[in-house]
A and B are shown apart, each in its own frame.
Chain A
Amino acid sequence: MIENFKINSSEIDKIKKISKEERNFRINNLNFFNEKGFPNKRQEDWKFSDLREIVQKNFKKLNVNKVNSKVKKINLIKDFDHNYIEVVNGELKSSNFKHEEKNKIKIKNFKNDNFLQESKDNPLICLNHALSDKGYHIEIEENYKFKKALIIYNLFTEDLKENILNSRNKIKIGKSSELHTIDLVINDSKYKFINNVYENIILENNAVYKNICIQNEKNDGYFHKFSKNKLASKSKYSSFIFPSGSKFNKLDLEFNLEGEDSECNLQSASFLNKDDHQEIKTKMNHLAPSCKSYQKVKNVLSSYGKGVYQGKIYVKDIAQKTNAYQLSKALLLSDNSEFNSKPELEIYADDVKCSHGATSGNVDEDSIYYLMTRGLNRKESVKLLIDGFLSEVVDMIKSNSIKKFVRSKLQGQIHGY
């Protein structure tokens, strides 16, 4: 690995108040990262996204120093009432739960108490474990349903310059509770930086979690997020992801359906252009009987956009009556765009229904012709068709005000095409 990207273990000493055990844990992870370096395409999970090459091409050195997180006032969304927390450069700054009962919610800075070594397959996770010292930790008590959605404003300040940020977040939802969150990314930095997040979401029995992730402004950020989600019996998880606009973005999502009758629903729509590189990788582990999972990933790609979808459904031998579905659709609008997919099934139980589909191609000429006969010009027709293609995902959002908000964001992108 190139010396510039090695990280000195003195960085760990800068993290205050850590036990000996934690220090060892961090040093082990750091050594592992320094040995392996950024993952490259020789690793199966990174086959289509060679991060090492991307980092070497775009960064001269990496800055792990703490950044000054001065914030100006965040422009809150006025479209609908909501609770919010502010996260600046990965660090929890403030929270506001004015619509909820305060005693049901616990929120604090993340503090790691689990020093078991996780898989060593992903050096970025190791790097995160070695250096992360910030992030949020939310816990919801049992039997509490949120009245309004919680917006998480993820702000990146203009002080960031070739920085690498590591943060860890955790959300735990108690029995029969319900939480809706919206992740919003606001980027003020004009420089390149790397954001490396490790997220842990735990759903107890009957819990419901809905998440919408929006990130659509053009930015120079390089994002990597690993999310590990645990679903207990009869819990429901649904996630809508609308990522685009980043130089590099990899979402690595792992769902463990550990309780019977749990359900997971994942949908994504993105519009990638001008050198965007985006990968969504999912691992849906069906570990208990009668679970359901549904994945739909839609991508529109133009001028040098590159999209990747790697999805895996794993069904353990005891997970009978599993129903799992996976669909990836891509529209390639220009010849320099590229879409790679690897929809994988690994099944050890026989009484299951598992299927997947993957397509990629251009906008249907017949449809364009039809619209043109109705008086639209070619560009308008294409836009309308793209809008229809992506809106299918947006339409699945239940709340009208949120749906309207998401749609306006998406349409802004399509309009710019």
Chain B
Amino acid sequence: MDGKPKPVDEILIVKNLKKSFEKKGFFHKKETIRAVDNVSFSVIKGQTFVLAGESGSGKTTIARLILGAIEPDSGEIIFDGISLDGRLQSINKVRRNCQMIYQDPYSAIDPRMKVVDIVREPLDIHGIGRPSERQSLVLDALRDVSLDPDEIASKYPHMLSGGQRQRVAIARAITTKPKMIIADEPVSMLDVSIRVGVLELMSKLQQRHGISFLYITHDLSTARYVGHVIAILYRGSIVEMGEINNVIKRPLHPYTQALINSIPDPYPGNHQGEKKFRINRTEESGSDKGCRFRTRCPYATEKCLEEPELEKVEEGRFVACFFRWN
């Protein structure tokens, strides 16, 4: 990509990241699945970068690659100026400065530990602060996520509501004072009323501590409330990337258009009559060559048998489609 900002502005740079998995079966022959295919993006300090796509598009694989849970086939990940090369030193540095919040607050925290121990654990693991200081760091973190330490610190997870659990998970993520948090669908399992509170909390933490977020989701309508930049993933590749309101108001890639078009809006007037899907029904990818979206794309032509590059179409806007001007 050209026109990138100065490196100091970026907390995370991902360059040409590739990861494929082998699918083995008893009866089927081996199949290679390109889970992440040539993905490049960067997260600016203090901003929220949204990685959006359907299930199986490779969102979570990218998160696992960044945290060093799995190793990439090729490509480069630069976190806070340090290139991740698989050495333990660099992985530990990332894990301390880059925390994760998971989708399911019911299974992400240990049911046999008290809240205070759950939040304290990362401090012990990374050896942050003297043991005597850790208690107060834990209480600070709990206050930071708007939980009352006196009320909650000695409780077990089963005594908490879903929203409280997710706040505990967030408190655990921020105790190490990370520079970045990867949030994997952090609100999709919460009730609408609690959802907004958690989203607000994330924005508040961002303003207060300058934390950058990598926000992974399939839900564009909530992403819109917290994100600055969005990348739309389709089968392991970014098909569109740009400033979030810009992308949502004026999607250029046919896939993004279909995605936004299919989000139900709470205005009944918008839904009178049949909804027009600008997308073909076929779910099979067929050949791996060319544009991945080809078989479902209503505008596909011969040209799409070649693979489109993610190209800059205007300042801060990238699209991987030959017919983006539609």
- Do these two chains really belong together in a complex? no
